[in-house]
Structure 1
Amino acid sequence: MKDLQKSAANLGKFQDAFVTADGQQRASVPLSHPETLWFNTGTLCNIECSNCYILSSPTNDALVYLTEAEVKGYLDQIEDRNWPVREIGFTGGEPFMNPEMIPMARAALERGFEVLILTNAMRPMMRKTVKAGLLALLEDFGDKLTLRISVDHHSAELHDKERGAGSFAKTIEGMEWLQDNGFAMAVAGRTVWGETDAEARAGYAALFAEHGFAIDAQDPGQTVLFPEMDETVEVPEITTACWGILNKSPDSVMCASSRMVVKRKGAGAPAVLACTLLPYSPEFELGQTLEEAERPVQLNHPHCAKFCVLGGASCSA
């Protein structure tokens, strides 16, 4: 896998978990309010997208399928640790490639959690058995279940450029089925084509209106727009002084409120990671249990700075 830390743009940085390249104390983030526990259902996917941050494909099984029993074990740990988790998220790969996706979602819903499933809404979701399982979940739990659909761009041309010819039409077909049956939906797009946020949201709004999708393009929670994860871009390291300079709290960073469970190929048990964006960086693996995963996270990666702390700001001033 790519070693994002050895990018030439950040040479010399992000080497020591506790000290930055210029000798300052590196910032860390405690798990202050665990609200979401993510499960990566496996890296296998029915398609292979350009620039997929997790390198999902029809052949990549670096992260293997989780099982219902393994998910239930972590749901038990949430209760044992008294974590105030509101939401269970499932991501991949394509989650509906995992044959136990429906039982895993049901296990979380039965515990009273909201469930979010990230999907491309293509063939794996549209199989008869999966559709029947989803309809049963909808009947039993209603809008406690949300499916977030990957629509890289609001135009077929640019979406298919990332995901392959014909993929846009197949995704829209899946979304129409979800809409017709009353499922709660959200969309995840990308911002790699030079559009402003307003332009992108206007494009998605037109797409949703055309198909009658009950999704608010202006709501960042319903239409999530992700930037390109380019590890060649130079970013500053985050020191403890940055919190005050940026007027930002560690509580606002994603690893203050979430963790992700994965199972690596050949591993005897799943592991808990600090971040959904760093599945292949061993220093962000916190252990096999939620108790072990309660320790603070050292912000020792370019993604920590660019995506989770800075968001376009700078702490150099």
Structure 2
Amino acid sequence: MIEQANAGKFIDPARTADGAPRATVALTHPKTLWFNTGTLCNITCLGCYIESSPSNDRLEYITLDDIAPYLDELAALGWPVDEIGFTGGEPFMNPQIIAMMEAALDRGYRVLVLTNAMKLMMRPRLQQGLKRLVARYGDRLTLRVSLDHWQPEPHDEIRGAGSYAETIRGLHWLRDEGLRITIAGRALWGLSDAEARAGYGAFFARHGLAIDANDPAATVIFPEMDENAEVPEITTACWGILGKHPDSVMCASSRMVVKRKGQPASVLACTLLPYDDQFELGRTLAEADRPVALNHPHCAKFCVLGGASCSI
């Protein structure tokens, strides 16, 4: 529990436990609008930040009718967003995923889909849809495939026996069909960044994947998010101490739309905190254009100290 590991911390949005002013981040350069397609997933992974599983439907399937008003609002607001992201759960479980991707691509956006590239993506209907989209929109469509480790045993330890082999089949299909692929890994095994990138680089060469292991946008190695770990709170003074700027944090450049079970769609500060009400910013994008207090351990460890970003 957060309360046990960080007793007294992350309570007041305005002040840290020692009374210092808490850091906030304004939406200074909106770049990515995320849609959570639903929390249902075909597998259950250890450490999934959103607790996706075959039974978790706390976030319902979002639909084309749900996302269309947000795409319209983007145009009306004139935000400089150039990327629409789809995350889950597993996006390819959502029956309308191809239609939603096409709607965003048709409006001129780049589209990023986070997927495990397993059996669901290999269904003929989905494959035909992906073939049509890549033929029409080319490399404006990117699939970021979760590959927790470049070797099967560590990957299967996280995602279940046989998941590595399924993901490899999916990667090969995407490669052969000419889709643009990036990789999401995890910093779990005590390896240095250089060691991990060398491992992924050798894997890419072995499988004929045109992915740059040394490009952090093409091979993303995410820091772990453990709510039981003790982490420091981020004060306004931390920016100068750390040599960072609020603009580098994900909530300065993105928002996420979710559909909680039995509720209309709403806008959250980011992709990492789908269940915390303090990060719900309203029903519209205009309402969500306000500063976000970094009042959660994920804000500190993942975004500020870990330097992670979910976008391309």
- TM-score category, normalised to shorter length: over 0.9
Alpha-carbon offset, residue 311 of structure 1: 3.0
User: Which residue of structure 1 lines up, in the alignment, with residue 124 of structure 2?
Assistant: 128
For 2:190 and 2:59, how far apart are their aligned partners in 1? 33
1:1-317 correspondence runs (5 A) = 5-6=2-3, 8-267=4-263, 269-311=264-306
The secondary structure found in structure 2 opposite 1:23 is: coil
User: Which residue of structure 2 lines up, in the alignment, with residue 315 of structure 1?
Assistant: none
The secondary structure found in structure 2 opposite 1:105 is: helix
Q: Is the 8 A contact 2:2 2:228 kept in 1?
A: no
Alpha-carbon offset, residue 62 of structure 1: 0.4
1:127-184 CA distances to partner (integer Å, 9 max, x unpaired)? 0000000000011100000000000100001101111111101100011001001110
Counterpart AA for 1:277 = L
Counterpart AA for 2:285 = L
Counterpart AA for 1:15 = I
1:70-96 CA distances to partner (integer Å, 9 max, x unpaired)? 111110010111110010000000000
User: Which residue of structure 1 lines up, in the alignment, with residue 310 of structure 2?
Assistant: none
For 2:19 and 2:216, how far apart are their aligned partners in 1? 37
The secondary structure found in structure 2 opposite 1:16 is: coil
Alpha-carbon offset, residue 19 of structure 1: 1.1
Range moving further from structure 2, 243-252 or 18-27: 243-252
1:283-314 CA distances to partner (integer Å, 9 max, x unpaired)? 000011001100100111111111212238xx
The secondary structure found in structure 1 opposite 2:255 is: strand
Range moving further from structure 2, 86-95 or 225-234: 225-234
Alpha-carbon offset, residue 59 of structure 1: 0.5
For 2:180 and 2:253, how far apart are their aligned partners in 1? 23
For 1:234 and 1:188, how far apart are their aligned partners in 2? 25
For 1:149 and 1:252, how far apart are their aligned partners in 2? 24
Which ranges of 4 or more aligned residues in structure 1 deviate by more than 3 Å? none
What residue ranges of structure 1 are gaps of 5+ in the alignment?
A: 313-317
For 1:89 and 1:232, how far apart are their aligned partners in 2? 29
Alpha-carbon offset, residue 195 of structure 1: 1.2
1:189-224 CA distances to partner (integer Å, 9 max, x unpaired)? 111011111111111111111110111111111110
TM-score, normalization: structure 1?
0.95
Alpha-carbon offset, residue 69 of structure 1: 1.3
TM-score, normalization: structure 2?
0.96
Counterpart AA for 1:262 = V
